[in-house]
Structures are given as structure tokens and as C-alpha cells.
Amino acid sequence: MLSGQPSSGTPDDTQSNTATSQPVNTIQDAEPTTRGLLRRRWLWFVLIYLAVILMIGFLAFSQGRRANLLQSQDQVVQFLQEQFELGLRDLDAKQYELARQRFEAIVRYDPSFPDAEEMLIEIYLAVNVPTVTPTPRPTMTPDPAPPEELFDQARTAIANSDWTTVINKLLTLRAKDPYYRSVEADGMMYIALRNRGMELIAMGWMEEGLYDLSLAERFGPLDREAGFRRTLAEQYLWANSFFGLNWAQAAELFNPLCQQGATLDSCPKYAEAAWKYGDQLWAADDPCGAKDQYGGSLSAWENSTLVPTATEAAVACETATAPPPPPPKPTDTPTLEGIPTEDLTPEATPTETPTPTPTS
């Protein structure tokens, strides 16, 4: 190698260049790694945030559902307590039949309600009704059918609208195998409880129907029609609590129930309540109010024996509200005032004066 020529690169220069360029590559490789770590951190942050939101929502939903259940239970307890107190008032007023209906409804809904059975026995003794010793229900014979057959029997019963059989078969199926086609079984149980509850309400068995609808709600939310029927049943029980105690209130509450066809006895109860309220108004010298109540009663439930009383009230109301007769018009006495008087004296007819004739 000549001394004046530049060096083409010695090993030391090569190592120096390599050493100088390597930190640059390391920095360039570190940038993607840092970005990846940041992305992972943000991803974990979003996932944790979503998990916290879902957890908070689930807790809020659970607390809300628990609060609704507690509120429903409180409403049922409050309603039963009100019926119990009204039953005591009926008992003090010797309204034994009405008190018996209240206490029997309480015992059917909640047999463990305090003092309800004792009050019912007291009413039976007061009206000399023989008490019936409750006999234990016979235990159902276990159905030896396999789960598949029980499921098919329940499906056949639901096609025939035999809701009680559907419920019994599904209960037996659940006792044997709670996981056998559980989703379909729950759906059929909902349909059977919902439809049986509505039928019981339509027949006047309000407490039993409301109980079935409350059980159906455990399998799914009630539809609009079932919710409407449940509201009517609750209104019926509320109206019935005034029956025999406050005829005006009972008539007012049973009137819309009769118009909507809530139960089979809504119209007869409205007719009786309206008629009794009409009697009160008639006795209070309010024939028009009595006429309205009698008319509403007869329009809801025909009763030919009450028509004469309603007719009498209508006539009395028409008489009481008839406008007074107009005062008699004064008769005009003919006078000479304003009448031109004519001279009735006959005018004298002019007579010609005879002129003397000249004599010749």
C-alpha cells in the first residue's frame, strides 16, 4: 500500500463505524416497541373500563329488581292488612257475610296471616255455619313416565288449553330432571300460569288469579293484556272492599269494571250498589240523583220489580226540575184613550128656504 493514498478502511475504522451505527438501530427498533406497549395499555384500560361499567350496571339492575320485589311484597302485605282491618269493621257492624268473604280471601292468599283463621272461625260460630276441618291434600302419586313422555304430555295439554295439567306435568318433569329442555319447559310453564291466572280472574277468583300471574312473572314479563287483567283484578278487590259499607264509593268503582267486563259479577255488583245508593238519595229527597242511580242499575242488570220505583223517581225529578209556568198575561181593557172619537151627533141636513114667487 502506497503511503500517499487514502486508507480504504482498517479493521479499527470498521469496528468504529459499526459501533457508531448500532445505537441508531437500537433507537429505531425501540420506537415500535414503545408504541405497542402504549397500545396494549390503552386496550387494557378500555377493557377494564367496560368491565367496571358492566359490573355497575349489573349491580344497579340487581338492586332495582330486588327493590321491585320488596315493593311488590310490601304492597301485598299492605293490601292484606287493609282487608283484615275492613273485616274487623264488618264484624263489629255484624256484616258477617262481607267479613267472611274478606277473611276467606286472606286465608286463601296467605294461610299464615296472623289471626285471620281465628276471625273466620268466629264468624262461622256467629252465623252457625259448621266449621269444616281441613283435611290434608292427598299426595300425588309419582308419575313413572320418563322425562320425554312428561314433556310430550305437557305439550299435548297446552294444545288442549288444559293449563292445570300442563303445570302438574312440568312440575313432575322438573322434579325428575330439572335440565331436560328447560328453556322450552319454562316457556310452557309461563303460558300455562298466565292463561290460568286470567281465567281465574274472569271467573271471580281474584286472589288465585293474581297469584298465578305473579308466578308467571318469574318466567318472563307479562304482556299488555295480562297486565290489564291484573290491574282490573286489583281494582275489583279495592271496589269490593267498599261493598256494603259505602254504596256510593262501591257504585263509582264497580261502574267502570262493569263497562270493561272485568268479571262475571262486576255488573250485578254495580247494579246492586247503584240501587242501594239510589235508595239513599231518594230518602234524602234527591229524586234526580236517585233517578240517575236507578237508571244505571237497570241498564247494567235488568230487574222488572224495580222499574216502578225508578219510574216514580223519574217523574218526581221531572216535576222538581220543571220550569215554573209563565205568569198569566194581563187582559187589555178597551178604553177610549187613543181612539179618535167621532161626533156622533147627526148633521142637520140643510133645508131650502122657499122664495116667494112674484105676483103679476
Domain check: are 184 and 108 in the same one? no
Q: How confident is the model at residue 320 (pLDDT cuts 50, 70, 90)?
A: confident
Tell me, yes or no, whether 146 and 232 share the same domain.
yes
pLDDT at 281: 92
- Same-domain check for residues 182 and 120: no
Half-sphere exposure in the Cβ direction for 251 (13 Å, CA): 22
Q: How many Å apart are CA 22 and CA 353, to the nearest integer? A: 179
Please report which confidence band the pLDDT of residue 191 belongs to, taking 50, 70 and 90 as the band edges.
very high
Same domain, 97 and 154: no
Most confident of 116-125, 244-253, 342-351: 244-253
Question: What average pLDDT does the segment 260-278 reach?
Answer: 86
- Average pLDDT over the chain, rounded to whole? 76
pLDDT for the residue numbered 234: 85
User: 352: which DSSP letter?
Assistant: P
The whole-number pLDDT of residue 279 equals 92
**Confidence band, pLDDT 50/70/90 cuts, at residue 162:** very high
Mean pLDDT of 168-195: 91
- Domain annotation covers residue 131: no
Q: What is the CATH classification number for the domain harbouring 155?
A: 1.25.40
**Percentage of the chain lying above the pLDDT 90 cut:** 20
More confident residue, 5 or 50: 50
The answer to whether residue 68 sits within a structural domain is yes
Q: Report the pLDDT value the prediction gives residue 334, as an integer from 0 to 100.
A: 56
Threshold 0.75, pTM exceeds: no
Res 11 pLDDT > 50: no
Instruction: Tell me how many domains the chain contains.
Output: 3
Whether residue 27 lies inside any domain: the answer is: no
Single out the residue in 73, 98, 126 at which a domain terminates.
126
> Within a domain: residue 326?
no
| 177 CB burial (10 A radius; 0-12, 13-18, 19+) | middle
One domain, residues 248 and 198: no
Distances (CA, A) of 349 to 123, 346, 353, 355: 118, 9, 13, 19
Range with the largest mean pLDDT of 102-111, 191-200, 201-210: 191-200
Q: 13-58, pLDDT tens digit by residue?
A: 444 444 444 444 444 555 556 766 777 778 887 888 888 888 887 7
Claim to verify: residue 102 and residue 60 sit in the same structural domain: yes
Check whether residue 154 and residue 227 sit in a common domain.
Answer: yes
* Residue 358 placed within a domain: no
Q: Which domain holds residue 272?
A: 241-320
Give pLDDT, residue 4.
43
Dist. CA 274–CA 292, nearest whole Å: 9
Mean pLDDT in residue range 217-230: 88
Residue 180 lies in a domain: yes
Mean pLDDT check: name the lowest of 20-24, 117-121, 128-132, 258-262: 128-132
Is residue 2 in some structural domain? no
One domain, residues 264 and 299:
yes
Q: Tell me which of 237, 262, 290 is where a domain ends.
A: 237
Distance CA 82, CA 234 (A): 13
Q: Cα–Cα distances in Å, from 289 out to 244, 271, 274, 294, 314?
A: 19, 15, 11, 9, 10
Q: Are 218 and 256 part of one and the same domain?
A: no
**Per-residue pLDDT for 142 more than 70?**
no
Q: How far is CA 17 from CA 7, 8, 360, in A?
A: 14, 13, 201
Q: Is residue 14 part of a domain?
A: no
- Write the CB contacts of 314 (distance below 8 Å, at least 6 apart in sequence): 291, 294, 295
84 with 71, same domain: the answer is yes
